Structure 1
Amino acid sequence: MAVLLVAGSTSAAGVSPGPTAQVASTGARAAVVVPDSFTPVVVTPISEPTFPWRGSDGKYHVSYDLQLTNASRLPATLTRVEVVDAADPDSVVTTLNRRQLVDPDCEFGACNLLRTLPSSNAPDTVMAPGQSRALLVDLTFDSLDQAPSEVMHRLFVTGQSSPPAAEASPIDYLAAPFDISSGEPRVIGAPLRGDDWVAANGCCGTGSPHRPSLNSLNGKLGNSQRFAIDWMKLTDEGTFRSGDKTRNESYADYGEAVYAVADGTVSSTLDTVEAGTPGILPADDPVLGPKLTLQNVDGNHVIQDLGGGVWAMYAHLIKGSLLVEPGDRVTKGQKIAELGNTGNSNAPHLHFQLMDDPSLLEADAVPYVIDRFTYQGQIPYPAWIATDNYLSGTFLQGRLPEAQPRTDELPLVLSVVNFPQP
């Protein structure tokens, strides 16, 4: 399987109040009472407070991450986790059972949400004393009315039930109130134009690199790539390339124009990284890997301040194609660069995300939706993982009989969409 990976770096930072990203008051948090109890596993939100956004499946999604640490003297085995309405803890929003937490037979979707650190599938649900895990939480609602304003987490653990306990026993308790009504998703334009764009490595679930991409940087753990997408284009025949598979120019999207998704000001740029060779992921190469740094891992890129405490990142651009510099004011739909294959990338694509800080080392991911696109269907995951590092194959499976116009939605992982021309 081709892995299109931006080894971005993150940690949580607050979203400043703005016209389309608004921070909630602390009134709801003040009303939440967590019952006193001995809690062997400590739960700490990694994400900043968040909010629902509408996906291309027509449902509303909420995604965030937690850190679990066994702070007791005995091993702690996590049996399941219930996400509950903080205002009514008996109302269960969703249950993460063992299959969702750990399942070595599951490759994609709502499984293996319990992560070792650095982020990878946990081998089991046992945490030794002093050991930590991360937990990816993805909630789905049919309507906004179903989403509570705040959630808590009931942990079911076999572990130390009290300070003097010498043997593990089953216990459960509530922890970690978390605000999921802190604002509204930023509505943006498409960063690309034309037909047959694939939302590779998008949200949600595991099986692709962005959603579980937790990194420890600047002394903090975070994830700026939670809602990132690697945009790739198909040919009319449903392939990603034609011709020599080792040449960037053979890929359908190479050199495509990249457009500003909103009005804003350019915060920073990088335009010095040479093109990579398709089929080779630098992070996996013994020669190229040591040359990757926190500064060049995303290749040539543009970071744009959209206002309201939100920044956009456009990454892996062609060297010399950038048309903007730091301090430039750009408008929605303005061409800013061309799609390339630079940095830690094994095929041409545009890595795009929104975040709450101009520094990837400090940013947390910000949910967003795209104002207009036409939904064509999905590439089935088995077809995606069956391809090679050159993205060989034909990907017309999963096409709808008729494309569907969509507004204010985020294309989910492996969606195929058309973006409007001006």
Structure 2
Amino acid sequence: MAASIDLAYPFRGRWLTQNSPANRVPSHGTTLFATSYAIDFVPVDEAGRSAPVTLRSFLRPEPPERFGGFGRAVLAPVEGVVVAVHDTEADHAAYRGLPSVAYALTQRRRARAGWIALAGNHVLIESKGNVVALCHLQRGSVLVRPGQALRIGDVLGRCGNSGNSTEPHLHLQVIDGRDVGRARAVPFTLAGSMPRNGDIVDVPE
């Protein structure tokens, strides 16, 4: 197993931790596409909600724009060079309640379709032999290009709902090479530790 690396948080403000490797490995229930140590962060408000909860939330898909974190800035968590960008996938409806059950049944189809279908819009950053992937970005929001050198905190794009995503959030993982289909997962920490599921991470603006 590759040695763990430490990253900065790739955002500012309040975000809810989900699917953390601090709770289980593989964190997403699969080793597919080197996701063993991946983690998800959902932008939330002061009350810890990603969006207001109504009867519609449980019965119908919702537009991603209804979620307050849709469009929040996503930042470079490491110094490095951009090695891949994808920015053309649509931001689809968000699914909570009963719609999320139906959406879950389509997960295998997306996995068979490959990395793009799962990651949606994303940026890959190479740093000291590892590659950091930031996924589910908003279509048309990516500001960086392959070959561009980055510093920690540079804006990469915006939080979206593309790819395998039930609501606007950020998926973060580290792998040991540029070919996601063949790479191995690399464990990592964030600002020296790893938050657990349900933890609210509040990074000052």
Asked whether the 8 Å contact 1:271–1:300 carries over to 2, the reply is yes
Which of the numbers 350, 359, 365 marks the counterpart of 2:170? 350
Between Structure 1 and Structure 2, the one with more strand by share is 1
Query: In 1, are the aligned partners of 2:111 and 2:118 still within 8 Å (CA)?
Result: no
The match for 1:203 among 21, 25, 38 is 21
Relative CO higher for 1 or 2, CA cutoff 8 Å, sep ≥ 6? 2
Q: Choose from 120, 134, 139 the match for 1:299.
A: 120
From 44, 47, 70, give the equivalent of 1:234: 44
Identity %: 27
Where do residues 364-403 of structure 1 align in structure 2 (5 Å cutoff)? 364-371=184-191
Q: Are 1:284 and 2:105 matched, yes or no?
A: yes
Query: How big is each residue's C-alpha offset from its partner over 1:266-291, in whole Å with a ceiling of 9 and x where there is no partner?
Result: 010111101111115656349x8599
Q: Which residue of 2 aligns with 1:260?
A: 76
1:418 aligns with 2:202: yes
Per-residue deviation, residues 357-397 of structure 1 (Å, max 9, x unmatched):
112101211122222xxxxxxxxxxxxxxxxxxxxxxxxxx
Aligned length: 193
- Unpaired stretches in structure 2, ≥5 consecutive residues: none
Conservation of the 8 A alpha-carbon contact between 2:22 and 2:195: no
**CA–CA distance in structure 2, aligned partners of residues 291 and 226 of structure 1:** 18
1:227–1:290 Cα change, 3 Å: closer
**Which one has the largest radius of gyration?**
1
TM-score (structure 1 length as normaliser): 0.42
* Matched residue type, 2:162: T
Name the structure 2 match of 1:360: 180
Per-residue CA deviation, residues 1-43 of structure 1 (Å, 9 max, x unaligned), is: xxxxxxxxxxxxxxxxxxxxxxxxxxxxxxxxxxxxxxxxxxx
1:242/1:211 CA distance change after superposition, 3 Å: closer
Q: Is the Cα contact below 8 Å between 1:283 and 1:292 reproduced in 2?
A: no
Structure 1 equivalent of residue 86 of structure 2: 270
Instruction: Note the 1:44-55 alignment, pairs <5 A.
Output: 49-50=1-2
Q: 1:209, CA displacement in angstroms?
A: 7.3
CA distance in 2, matches of 1:290, 1:233: 25
TM-score normalized by the length of structure 2: 0.83
Is the alpha carbon distance of 1:271 and 1:252 closer, same or farther for their aligned partners in structure 2, counting shifts above 3 Å? Answer: same
The residue aligned with 1:190 is 9
Structure 1 residue identity aligned to 2:116:
Q
Looking at structure 2, the residues matched to 297 and 187 of structure 1 have their Cα atoms a distance apart, in angstroms, of 25
Calculate the aligned-residue CA RMSD, in Å: 2.5
